[in-house]
Each structure stands twice: as C-alpha cells, then as structure tokens.
Structure 1
Amino acid sequence: MRILVVEDDDRVARGLVTALRNSSYDVCRVATAEGALRAPTADVVLLDLGLPDADGIDLLRRLRERPETAIIAVTARGEERERVRGLRLGADDYVVKPFGVSELLARIDAVLRRTRAARAGTGETAPPIHAGPLTLDPGSREADLDGTPLALPRKEFDLLALLASRAPAVVDRDTILDQVWEATWESSTRTLDTHIASLRGKLGGSGTVRIQTVRGVGYRLIARPG
C-alpha cells in the first residue's frame, strides 16, 4: 500500500514517514506541489494545504482528477469553513495539526476501506494481497497458501486480508474490530479470539505463515519469503 506524504516541514514529514513505514506502508515524501504532481500514483495522499509553491486547495483539485487515489488533507487550518471547503473539493478526510499517529492511521484505514467499497460497487477489483507464500484476492475472495487453496468464511478472509495488508506491523484489536466487524462491544472480542484460533489452525500446517499475539495490543502476521 503506497502513501504519498506532501509536507514541506521536514520535522513533521520525518515523523509521518517513520510512523507510516513502521506500520508497513510504502511511503514517498515530497515537499512541493510540483513534486506531488510528478510523484508516482499512490493509494493515499496525505496533503498539507500550506505548501510553499502553490495553494494546497488548487493542488487538491488537480489530485482529485486521479479517482483511484484517496486524499487526506493534513493541515493547521482547523476552522470549520476550511474543513468544509476541503471536503467539498474532494478530500476524503481532514486531519488538523497537531494530531496523534494512532488517529491518523485509523483515518487512513477508514478511507482505504471506503475506497475499496466504492471500487466494489463499480465492479473495479482491488489488487491481490501478498505476504510471503500467502496470496489473497479481494475480488474473487480466494486465498492461496504455498500453492494450496484455503477455504475461508467471509470474516476469516477479511481478518486475514487486514493482517496481511499490514504485515509485519501489529494491528491493534480496536482497529480489527472496527474494520472487520464494525463493532467494539465486549462480546465481539471473544469472536475475534475465536476467528484467530481458527485461522491459526488453517495456517499452521505450512510453517511459513503465522499469526503472533502481541499482548495488550493486537496481532501481527509473520510470513517467511515465498
């Protein structure tokens, strides 16, 4: 998953890039509007609206011409009028500085989820997800491990796809419950544990892919190169 960070403040940019790479995203950073327009297409753009060479709103309009890209405006402009303007011009979300890394990661996950849903509604399929010898195809909802198909019910597929798309980063329980079950109630945590146990049983025979528990946080998928 590729993220383009458009931020002219080196200190802020370094923090963003480090946090995103620690979460296993492929990150490219540019400091100008010109650099953003020349950069390779990304799945998500984190766009600072206060750029030195152009109005960030004008850049937002031009980036919005790329329908496959989600855009999150990251800016110090916190007034409601500015937020509404940015959203009406095509931003998928709006984060006001200063913000927490956890909040930003949650917003990235949310816009990616909405983007995938929109693609599904138009018949456009998301690309396959690879983690070592594990491949998951969101379009056909087929999973393959070491050349052997995996029979996965819908929620098991969604859970494994989330872990694989973020591997080897840890995905916290709240994020899993929100994205896979769209719930946070107490009983759903037991449902998560049950699905993790079932997936471990289906992955265990290969020895190449496993789900690790990170106590007090969540789970990570660890895969040997295929």
Structure 2
Amino acid sequence: MLHKQVLLADDDPNVREIIRLYFRKQQIELLEADNGETALELAKNQNPHVVILDVMMPGMDGFAVCREIRKNSDVPIIMLTAKDEEFDRVLGLELGADDYMTKPFSPRELVARMKAIFRRMQPREIKEEEAAKVLEFDKLTIDTERREVLVNDEKVAFRPKEFDLLVHMAKSPGNVFTREQLLEQIWGYDFFGDIRTVDVHIKKIRERLNGLQMNFIHTVWGVGYKFEVEA
C-alpha cells in the first residue's frame, strides 16, 4: 500500500491508541488530535488523505470541524459518534461527511473502510468517450473537462461528488438510477456509508440549481432518481 496519512480527532486516548496500533500494522501514518481546534489546524497544515472526527469533543465538536474543513477541502471525512441516532448521521452528511461509524466500533472495520477509500482515490483511466465534453441543456451547461457548472451563464460551485453525480445522471437523461446504483457508480462498490448519502447530495445539487426555473433532477418514488429535461 502506498504511504497514506490519516488524521484522527478523538478526545479518548484509549480509542486513539487502539486505532494507532491497527493503522501501524497497515503502514498508515496517523496524525492525532484530542480536540477540534488541534484537528482543524492539522487538517489545514498537513493535508491528510482522510480525516476521522469524533462528534463529541470538548470545545469545537466534530460537526464544527467538519464544517470548517469543507470550506476549503474535499478530503474524505468519517464521523465517529456514540449516538446511534438518525439526526446525527444526517447532520454529518449534510455538513459534508462521507461516512460515519457508531461507537463502539471494530478497528478492523475502520481499517477496511480506509482501504476502500484509498482504492477509490487511485486515479482511473479515462475512456476516450468520457473525456472533454460539454453537456448543454436549457439554461444549464456542464463542462466535464473544466469541471464547471453554469446556471444562467453564471458559474456555480459544486463539490466533487456533487459534480460527479450530476454529470453521471446528465449523461443519461431519462434513465432511472436507484440509490444503490448511484452509490456503486459514484462512491464505489465497496462504499460502507449510509444510502442517505445519495439523498443528501441530490438535495445539495437541487439547491445549487435553484437559479433555474425548472427541475432537472426528478424523484422516482420507490425507485430512485433521474435527470430529465422538461418539455
């Protein structure tokens, strides 16, 4: 495995020690922080490949750190929470987290998730038919080479996964995709996260396209979503 660096922020020294031992066996370098402020500083200065954030930390909690990191970085973020509640999971996803684990968790599973993330981070060969295309619809332009989205000729910022999801659906107008298909095609077949990840990203895409007077992303109840140009 190539050298990888992971930032872990957790105020419990026992949790940090267990994860440190497991990661050492996998040759994963671990940066450690016992509070949110230190975690944010390390994330800015060290540029880790993955960030693991405990939700309940003194001072700045994991949600606040996630929010700040997302202002400047799309690094994969996993949230650790002792609360097995839907609100916490959805809030983490809304703030930009990619995955979550509920305490107590298996360090072996955490390592497996890290490996899955590292595999998805490997560069993939771009097929000729996928390269350098501009998708144009009424008042919506998607430049896949520059990774830009224009709404009414104004550039709108998209996070990488939001952009990938929009492009994937826009390349097949009218096709209905299940959440499972989108998870596999955008996040990877070995993604461990909540299927609600798709719903959260769809919601964000719709919000970013709210300058249009038409809805391109349609919900197919009981199935999933489709990109469709209204007549």
TM-score with structure 2 length normalisation? 0.49
TM score, norm. by length of structure 1: 0.50
